[in-house]
Structure 1
Amino acid sequence: MSGEKRTNLMYRRQFVKLSGVAGAGGLLALAGADGGMADGGRSPEPSPPAPGGATCPTPSTLCGFPTDTGGRYDLWDRVQVCLGTRTTPPTTCLRTTSDYVVLNGAPQNNHNFLLVPTCRISGIECPFIATAAAPNYWLDAWINAQPGQPSHVVYPNIGLGINSATTRQQDQLHIHLAGIHSGIQTQLNNYDTAITNNPVNWRTQIVPIWGLTSTGMPAPRSYRVLHVSNLNTNLFTLLRDSVVRPTGANMADQALAVTPRLVGNGGFYVLNSEPGLPTPPGQPGGTGTVDFLLAYA
């Protein structure tokens, strides 16, 4: 669907189940201390539209430069192929819009895809993605993972995720559209009544989740978990304002994942973690990757 215009709000909402918000539960862990900004400071003003037509961040060390190419910028090269400004590397463009392209993940199968911005955005550390000028990439990812789409995730349940700056393999922002391990949903269901729907309390809602490594070995880690009723709010902004700034953390260290909430009034669970996540005694530490939650292979 090359050249497709940005999906309008009514089209989006047919894929997003709007539901009531779950009741807030008790705190599961220690509250983080208040702190100053640690996400790169003042967000840069948007620059003129990129070749794809999207408003993009001003090129910078944090967000990257359009001239970056090769190696860890392979995804950025592939975006430009989809936009018609490059001819290599060979790329299958499942969907191309002014804001993002959708590509196959690796390994290539029917439950492993990537949504990649058409702007040069290095990753979660780029301040632009949390501003009002940025597209709602999470809602776009959810829509593209649904039945009838070229990137329909064929798996019992969908998991969306983005890795931290230190754990990702590519320095171009990409949201994974994948399956989520069945055991993750079961654990979240068990914790449900103790998980908040109030973003102010998100930073204190820390639960241990037993995930899996790529070899199938158990990987217990701790995650902050929040209920949201829909994906109409930019989750990068929510993470910055509810977790990163209040705790004095670094946006570059954050991992973020989304999966449907299968109990109560539905909606979604939003999971966040970082390597330095403060956890109670006896609880596993945090992580900067969503790879323990998502099923790629």
Structure 2
Amino acid sequence: MPALRLRGMRLWWWLAAALALPGCTAEGVLGTLSGGRDGLWRNVQQRCLASAPASHPDCAQVDQSRGLVLYKDAIGVSHYLVIPAHPVTGVEDGKAWDGAGANPWAFGWEARGIVGQALGKAVPDDMLGLAVNSRSSRSQDQLHIHLDCISAAARALVNGGSGAIGTGWTALRHDGKPVRAKFVPASTPVLTVDPFLLVRHGANDGAAALPPDRGIFVTYVRDQQGRAGFVVVDQPVDKAAGSNGHASDFLDRRCRLAQELPVAA
């Protein structure tokens, strides 16, 4: 076996093993390989923001007016990242919570059709989601919101509990870990609220302080009672309960829910 091919196989074996570890993300693994915790941000700057228009294939969408980038993640056919075009370290950064700029969640949700394009089939809205990880469970120090298919367990949580999830925060458990969920009615799948602001006001009872470390997950639901809207799941870091706020666990890079869907003609 040629040495180059052997090294490539070893790299992918190492990546697969690393991604199996709790709290390990693809952008974190590859960011570490490419230069540490700012590897993702440097790639976005060089590939997407250094020239207009961006020519690198990883730059799926660059919206200069809103200051946001849709960036193809290195691992996962349909996995994308919503990244501000200015420095925002993550959920501990006040700029993520002040609502001053464009809503990155709305931007990512508007772009959700790219997941189906990558898979070659239409993926229903209730199989798609967005997630941001806590500071303690990420490896890259530039805010990035994950966009992909949701997992079967995540869908069971929001659909099975959608009747119980009201417009106020509802305490639930996901994979044995404490989370809170909130239903935001929306007859059409248009995200008009900023989940950061919803969580901030709910976590602090309207206080000015930034919420403690946490992850956030968002998806769309239509339940048997005819309700339609978004479910926002708040996952505070709770070491005693074993929760590290790794909200991208609600997503599935293999998009197994969509495997049985028909392929686009």
TM-score relative to the length of structure 2: 0.68
Aligned to 1:80: 45
Q: Contact between 2:180 and 2:235, CA under 8 Å: does it hold in 1?
A: yes
Report the alpha carbon displacement of residue 255 of structure 1 after superposing the two structures with TM: 0.3
Q: Contact between 1:102 and 1:151, CA under 8 Å: does it hold in 2?
A: no
Distance 1:149 1:188 in 2: 21
Report the alpha carbon displacement of residue 277 of structure 1 after superposing the two structures with TM: 8.4
1:112-133 Cα shifts (integer Å, max 9, x gaps): 1111110100011111222242
Cα–Cα, structure 1 residues 120 and 135, in superposed 2: closer, same or farther, change >3 Å?
same
Aligned to 1:265: 227
1:227 corresponds, among 180, 183, 200, to 183
Between structures 1 and 2, the one with greater helix share: 2
Give matches, 1:75-154, under 5 Å. Answer: 75-81=40-46, 82-84=48-50, 92-98=58-64, 99-109=67-77, 111-146=78-113
Paired residue secondary structure (2:197): helix
1:241 corresponds, among 182, 198, 201, to 201
Q: Contact between 2:203 and 2:211, CA under 8 Å: does it hold in 1?
A: no
Query: What 5-or-longer segments of structure 1 have no aligned partner?
Result: 1-68, 211-219, 279-283
Report the alpha carbon displacement of residue 207 of structure 1 after superposing the two structures with TM: 0.6
Aligned to 1:62: none
1:174-217 Cα shifts (integer Å, max 9, x gaps): 0000111123212322212221213xxx2xx111123xxxxxxx
Distance 1:147 1:260 in 2: 16
Paired residue secondary structure (2:216): strand
Cα–Cα, structure 1 residues 163 and 132, in superposed 2: closer, same or farther, change >3 Å?
closer
1:188 corresponds, among 141, 155, 158, to 158
Paired residue secondary structure (1:295): coil
Aligned to 2:238: 276
Paired residue secondary structure (1:256): strand
Indicate the structure whose relative CO is greater, using CA pairs within 8 Å and at least 6 residues apart.
Answer: 1
Paired residue secondary structure (1:192): coil
Report the alpha carbon displacement of residue 268 of structure 1 after superposing the two structures with TM: 0.9
Distance 1:94 1:233 in 2: 24
Q: Contact between 2:218 and 2:233, CA under 8 Å: does it hold in 1?
A: yes
Aligned to 1:165: 135
Corresponding position: 1:176 with 2:132? no
Aligned to 1:256: 216
Q: Contact between 1:166 and 1:253, CA under 8 Å: does it hold in 2?
A: yes
Cα RMSD of the aligned pairs, angstroms, is: 3.0
Q: Could you tell me which amino acid in structure 2 is paired with residue 276 of structure 1?
A: D
Corresponding position: 1:288 with 2:245? yes
Query: What 5-or-longer segments of structure 2 have no aligned partner?
Result: 1-33, 255-265
Distance 1:224 1:248 in 2: 20
Cα–Cα, structure 1 residues 150 and 170, in superposed 2: closer, same or farther, change >3 Å?
farther
Distance 1:182 1:148 in 2: 17
Report the alpha carbon displacement of residue 229 of structure 1 after superposing the two structures with TM: 2.3
Cα–Cα, structure 1 residues 147 and 128, in superposed 2: closer, same or farther, change >3 Å?
closer
Q: Contact between 2:200 and 2:210, CA under 8 Å: does it hold in 1?
A: no
1:28-87 Cα shifts (integer Å, max 9, x gaps): xxxxxxxxxxxxxxxxxxxxxxxxxxxxxxxxxxxxxxxxx94211121122121116xx
Q: Contact between 1:144 and 1:151, CA under 8 Å: does it hold in 2?
A: no
Paired residue secondary structure (1:193): coil
Count of aligned residue pairs for this structure pair? 206
Q: Could you tell me which amino acid in structure 2 is paired with residue 93 of structure 1?
A: C
